[in-house]
Structure 1
Amino acid sequence: MSTIASLYAEATGWIFEHALQPLLYALELMDWAEDAYAWLDFALFGLFGIAVAWAVCRPLEAWRPVESVSQHGAVRTDMLYTFLNRLGVLPLLAFVFLASVQAAWEGWLTEAGLLPPTLEELAPLLRDHPVLAFAAYVVVLDFGEYWRHRAQHAFRWWWALHAIHHAQRQMTFWTDDRNHVLDDIIAAVWFGGIALLIGVPPGQFPAVVLILRLAESLSHANVRLDYGRLGERLLVSPRFHRLHHAPLSAGAHGRNYAVLLPIWDWIFGTGDFRRGVFPPTGAPEEPEALASGGWLRQQAIGLRRMVGAIGGR
């Protein structure tokens, strides 16, 4: 992992030195060089994540699609969501904010003579078994994502934002990033906060993100695929998550909330493990623009509906 990280850092440095830095110099914007390098780092990682998701999911969608793609405009909107989410400034802002929080948190604990209560502090065995520690980080973060997902459906103001994701009737692996910007901000702070709390090492954090995002992209793929009677209880499949996107699962009546491990739905009674079922997707009770409108219109409607929900309308 350290070798991969080193190669990635070298590639990022080379691109910055030979492409971005000369442009900043020509535009007399060198004061922004540090911020530009951080953005480039996130953007390249985002591009890598998109490429991995495409390489895994696109052949599957071509192999056994659940349905033919008839609403190409809706898919293009989802693609815009994906590129804005993974190449934009949101990850950078979340990183800067959470890094500041982490520094303050650790400083306060140090002054109090305490060690940060990381996962390795609670389970010292993990210190000598990095692979086991990595798996533990993934499991804990996935558990946190399960409860965040349930909260998105449980609170009316949060559902007003999350409904943008569920309104898609032409679901593909691009649908994973179809979210309101405010929803993305909450998700970034939630996920990053848990990662900091349990002490995920900075070198392993990108790999954790990559695994969970690939799992989410695959679960949204337009492919007729399940993992069998046993596998369906071990990993979230496209069939398992498609049931979550069925109209009957909208709002507070949702099922199959898990991102990676269906065991959470199994334990807490929210799982639907029917096999061979690939229903249509969408949220017909929501405004049509959330399904067929453009990015900006969907963002505006989501914000207006959230304000209305908070105000009791």
Structure 2
Amino acid sequence: MSWFQDAHAAVAGWIFEHALLPLLYAVGLVDWDEDIYGWLDFALFGLLGIALAWLVCRPLEAWRPVEPVTDRRAVRTDMLYTVLTRLGVLPLVAFAALASVQAAWEGWLTEQNLLPPTLEDLLPWLRDHPLLAFACYVVILDFGEYWRHRAQHAFRWWWALHAIHHAQRQMTFWTDDRNHVLDDVLAALWFGGIALLIGVPPGQFPIIVLILRLAESLSHANVRLSYGWLGERLLVSPRFHRLHHGPLSAGASGRNFAVLLPVWDWVFGTADWHRDAFPPTGTPEEPEALATGGWLRQQAVGLRRMVGAIAGR
């Protein structure tokens, strides 16, 4: 993966040196150079993720859409969600922020002889098989995402936030990032925390994020696409995940929670292979603002509903 990391560093360095650094000097903010470079590093991965999702999913949606796009305003709102989320790249920020906490925590644990082993400590032979180690990281993180997704549906206060994602009645690949800011923060801390716990190398973490983000964009795409009996049990397809967004999968009664590997739904009894293959999406019982309101309106309603759920209302 070094070629990818080298290319990314070269592009980031060129943009920073020729575009951002002169601007910082011009406005007298050169003391912020490290912070701006850190944001640029994250933002480039976000832009790459958006470009890959568009290149893969847009032709599929044009080829065989499940339904015509009739509410373009709702899709534009989802596009705004995507830009705000991907340019911030919360999982990467959480990973970086948690790294300093982990360093201090590991220092204390080392002094107490209580340092927990990473995945490569438990399985030393993985150090000689980097691609296999990378695959193991992906599988473990995907397993963690399955349980995080179930928790979003199981806890009322968390569902109050996550319902924004399910309220979309005009689902496209842009819908993947349609989440409340607090929901994204919790998801990023969850994902970044697991990655640090199992010892994911910092250079591999952004690539894993790209893979899972692309898989999620494809699974939300407005395309009539199934992978067949076997393929549907190996990878989450647009058909498999659209069942999750159907009206009967809202809240704790949800099905098909997996992000990348449907095996978790298969093993834990939450897989749905039999209902209408491409149902309409949305949550009719939730406030209309979550479906048709703008970004700010949806954020405000989601926050108010979460507070109400915590207060028992």
Q: TM-score range by the shorter chain?
A: over 0.9
What is the deviation of 1:107? 1.3
Q: Which runs of 5+ in 1 are unaligned?
A: none
Answering whether residue 87 of structure 2 is matched by residue 103 of structure 1, we say no
Deviation at 1:92, TM superposition (A): 6.2
Report which stretch shifted further, 13-22 or 86-95.
86-95
Which letter does structure 2 place at the counterpart of 1:5?
Q
Give the secondary structure class of the aligned counterpart of 1:257: coil
Please say if residues 43 and 87 of structure 2, whose CA atoms lie closer than 8 Å, have aligned partners that are also in contact. yes
For 1:215-226, what aligned pairs fall within 5 Å after superposition?
A: 215-226=215-226
Distance in 2 separating the partners of 1:36 and 1:207? 21
Alpha carbons 1:247, 1:282 under 8 Å: kept:
yes
Indicate the larger mover: 227-236 or 271-280.
271-280
Which aligned pairs between 1:73-88 and structure 2 lie closer than 5 A?
73-88=73-88
**1:147 alignment counterpart:** 147
Aligned-pair identity (%): 81
User: Counterpart of 1:255 in structure 2: which amino acid?
Assistant: R
What are the ranges of 5 or more consecutive residues in structure 2 without an aligned counterpart? none
| Contact 1:39–1:89 (Cα < 8 Å) also in 2 | no
Kindly state the Cα deviation for residue 281 of structure 1 after the two structures are TM-superposed. 0.2
Distance in 1 between residues matched to 2:193 and 2:103, nearest whole Å: 12
Aligned-partner SS, 1:103: helix
Structure 1 residues 137 and 91: CA distance shift in structure 2, 3 A: closer
CA 1:95/1:138 → structure 2, altered by over 3 Å: closer, same or farther?
closer
Give the structure 2 partner of residue 9 of structure 1.
9
Change beyond 3 A, Cα 1:96–1:137: closer
- RMSD value over aligned CA atoms? 1.3
- CA positional deviation for 1:116: 4.3
Matches within 5 A, 1:219-258: 219-258=219-258
Partner amino acid, structure 2, of 1:124: P
Range that drifts further, 272-281 or 50-59: 272-281
CA distance in 1, matches of 2:15, 2:73: 33
1:306 aligns with 2:310: no
Query: Which segments of structure 1 move beyond 6 Å, counting only runs of 4 or more?
Result: none
Partner residue in 2 for 1:176: 176
* Matches of 1:95 and 1:18, distance apart in 2: 28
Partner amino acid for 1:134? F
Normalising by structure 2, what TM-score? 0.97
CA offset digits 1:94-149 (Å, max 9, x no partner)? 24421221211221233234554111111222111111100000000000000000
Equivalent residues of 1:226, 1:275 under 8 A apart: no
Q: Aligned pair count?
A: 313
Write the letter of the residue equivalent to 1:259.
V
1:206 aligns with 206
Give the equivalent residue in structure 2 for 1:158. Answer: 158
Alpha-carbon distance in structure 2 between the residues aligned to 1:281 and 1:273: 17
Give per-residue Cα distances to partners, 1:234-278, cap 9 Å, x unaligned: 000000000000000001110000000000000000000138710
TM-score (norm 1): 0.97
* Residue 116 of structure 2 is aligned to residue 124 of structure 1: no
Counterpart amino acid of 1:132? L
Query: Cα deviation per residue 1:44-98 (whole Å; 9 max; x = unaligned)?
Result: 1100010001000000000110000000000000000000001137456424421
Tell me the residue number matched to 1:30: 30
Map 1:62-77; keep pairs closer than 5 Å: 62-77=62-77
Q: Take 2:242 and 2:74, find their aligned partners in 1: how far apart are those partners?
A: 17
CA distance in 2, matches of 1:20, 1:175: 31
The separation in 2 between residues aligned to 1:259 and 1:89, in whole angstroms, is 18
Give me the whole-angstrom Cα distance separating, in 2, the residues matched to 1:93 and 1:127. 26
What is residue 285 of structure 1 aligned with on the other side?
285
- Matching of residues 265-276 of structure 1 within 5 Å: 265-274=265-274
Q: How many Å separate the matches in 1 of 2:17 and 2:296?
A: 34
Letter in 2 for 1:257: F
The residue identity in structure 2 corresponding to 1:267 is V
Is the contact made by 1:39 and 1:92 (CA closer than 8 Å) also made in structure 2? no
Q: Distance in 1 between matches of 2:297 and 2:89?
A: 20
Q: Tell me, in whole angstroms, the C-alpha distance in 2 between the residues paired with 1:8 and 1:76.
A: 29
> Which has the larger displacement, 203-212 or 235-244?
203-212
